[in-house]
Amino acid sequence: MGKNKQIINNFLKKIIFKNKQERNYLTKNIFTTDKVDSFTFLEVIIKIEDKFKIKLKDKDILSTKMNNIENLTKLILKYLNEKK
């Protein structure tokens, strides 16, 4: 796993699962746990944008692909690569 990918995964795990050991945390649907509701999801989006200095597009925020850490990581990496 690349260094940036690991950093992003760890950041997301910390803000979503509060560093608790979750089985299959990368692919676990964050909306089917008691960890994330709509308000918490907005907080996660704001923290992502602040931490990585990116602005997520509405279409990406509303995408069903934003349902787990693995997909969120891919999206963040895409935005970071576009900034280069």
Q: What 3-state DSSP class applies to 62?
A: coil
Residue 2 is predicted with a pLDDT of 83
- What is the rounded CA–CA span in Å between residue 58 and residue 17? 24
Whole domain around residue 46: which residue ranges? 3-83
Q: Residue 13 belongs to a domain with what CATH number? A: 1.10.1200.10
How many domains is the chain built from? Answer: 1
Residue 1 is predicted with a pLDDT of 58
- What is the rounded CA–CA span in Å between residue 39 and residue 41? 5
pTM: 0.89
For the segment 17-50, what is each residue's pLDDT rounded down to a tens digit? 886 777 888 999 998 878 788 899 999 999 999 9
Residue 35 is predicted with a pLDDT of 75
